[in-house]
Amino acid sequence: MRRVGVYTQDFKFYHDVIKILRAWSIPFVSLDHPHAFSKDVVVVLGSSKDADYGSLQERFDDPKAAVRYSFPRLVGKSAFNLVVVGIDPGPRPGLAVVCDNILTEAMECPTIEDLSNEVEEIVSQYLCRDLVIRIGNGDRPNREAIIRLLADLNVMLYQVDETGTTIRYRNDNNAISAAKIALAVSIPDGQAKNRKNERSFVERNFVTIRGVLSS
């Protein structure tokens, strides 16, 4: 299994990047030396404050950007061919990122402004040859507000039919709906209601980084 290595003298960066790697279920190993790592380590993440150790080291100001940089390496690529950002419009919009048909992120944003900030970061931080945004055609007022906020990104944006993407399980799961919008897939509502928890449902119904690495 390919893993991310982490080596840094910057304690805050270390704490933050490890927290993200764990939250996103990305396999990693903390290194005692920048050159002492096994063959399954595909990139060594460090802070921009660290010295340049060469080898597989990559240095970053932003821990989230560091983790996103590692994604294509984990699946054996230097960059993704196509990144699709899926958006489920609403007052708490869903956001998902699908890279060459692999789901890397799915979240619910507290506000449309938070979503706009996340999308701006995604556009600048993912290594890819092409990136598009797909937004569901529901909730017209929030959809149009989101489109206005994203207008300056200079990224191709498509409105897609979101019929069949809404999941009702206690509350609508906007993150999973966004993933379905990104992939333009429909998963039966009944199947969603029977899932034990969100993570197992995602692993069963989407190709994820975790799934690719464990297969």
Fold of 80-214: Nucleotidyltransferase; domain 5 (3.30.420)
| Banded pLDDT at 204 (limits 50, 70, 90) | low
Q: Give the residue among 169, 203, 206 at the shortest CA–CA distance from 186.
A: 206
Q: What is the pLDDT of residues 125-138, one digit of tens each?
A: 999 999 999 999 98
Please give the residue that has the higher pLDDT: either 46 or 195: 46
What was the pLDDT predicted at 198?
A: 46
Rounded Cα distance between 142 and 119, Å, is 16
Domain map (residue ranges) of the chain: 3-74, 80-214
Structure tokens at 77: 């690529």
- Check: CB of residue 63 under 8 Å from CB of residue 16: yes
